[in-house]
Homo-oligomer: A and B are copies of this chain.
Amino acid sequence: MSGTGSAAGRPPIRLLIADDQALVRGALSALLGLEPDIDVVAEVGRGDEVQHAATSARADVALLDIEMPGIDGIAAAANLRTALPGCRVIIVTTFGRPGYLRRAMQAGASGFIVKDTPAAQLADAVRRVHQGLRVVDPTLAAESLAHGDSPLTERETDVLEAARTGGSIADIARILHLSEGTVRNHLSNAIGKTAGRNRADAARIAENNGWL
């Protein structure tokens, strides 16, 4: 362990942790708090609290989960980049949706970690990111390139997202203020592009690829 830190008189890394699950949040805090060169200076459970907490606690590094109430971790990362440019961001999420990686990087994140990486690597990731390096899960990086950008247009994405809750075409048309025929056309295009068998299938595929 350690290795990179060298832990001389240098001031410790000021870390913010954001995760909606209090148990995980507290556990991560306990895990990283054991490291002598890391100080956990803030813990939040909502995406829209990240910016305020990070600025007032003067965080050096922010560890953000994607799934959070308020705004998600990627949007929070984008906000942080403009509001507190000196603060590096690591996105940590439960499962490897390759589309998330691309979006996280576009939002200015410096690191991307899935929750089934060994716990010992996390502290090193924080240190590397603090030094200005990038940390990306290698398996995910390859997958991200293979799947690439979303082939769906903006409207097709909207329609698929509305279809996810299980409503009928009439429902979707009402929500998006479109004609039913248009909804059918967009859905048909989305089904073709995702190679799904129906809209439920297409929504599932698109979601797994991070296209929603």
A residues adjacent to B (C-beta < 8 A): 20-31, 34, 45, 92, 94, 113, 115-120, 122, 165-168, 171, 196-202, 204
Contact = CB atoms under 8 A, between A and B. Distances in A.
A163 to B, nearest CB: 8
B26 A167 contact: no
A92 B24 CA distance: 11
Given A23-B118, A27-B30, A166-B201, 19 more contacts: A20-B116, A21-B116, A22-B115, A22-B117, A22-B119, A23-B113, A23-B115, A23-B117, A27-B27, A27-B28, A27-B31, A27-B119, A30-B31, A30-B119, A31-B31, A94-B94, A166-B198, A166-B204, A200-B200
A25 B119 CA distance: 8
List the 3 closest A-B pairs by CB distance, nearest first: A26-B119, A166-B201, A27-B27
21 contacts: A20-B116, A21-B116, A22-B115, A22-B117, A22-B119, A23-B28, A23-B92, A23-B113, A23-B116, A26-B120, A26-B122, A27-B27, A27-B28, A27-B30, A27-B119, A30-B30, A30-B31, A94-B94, A165-B201, A168-B198, A171-B197
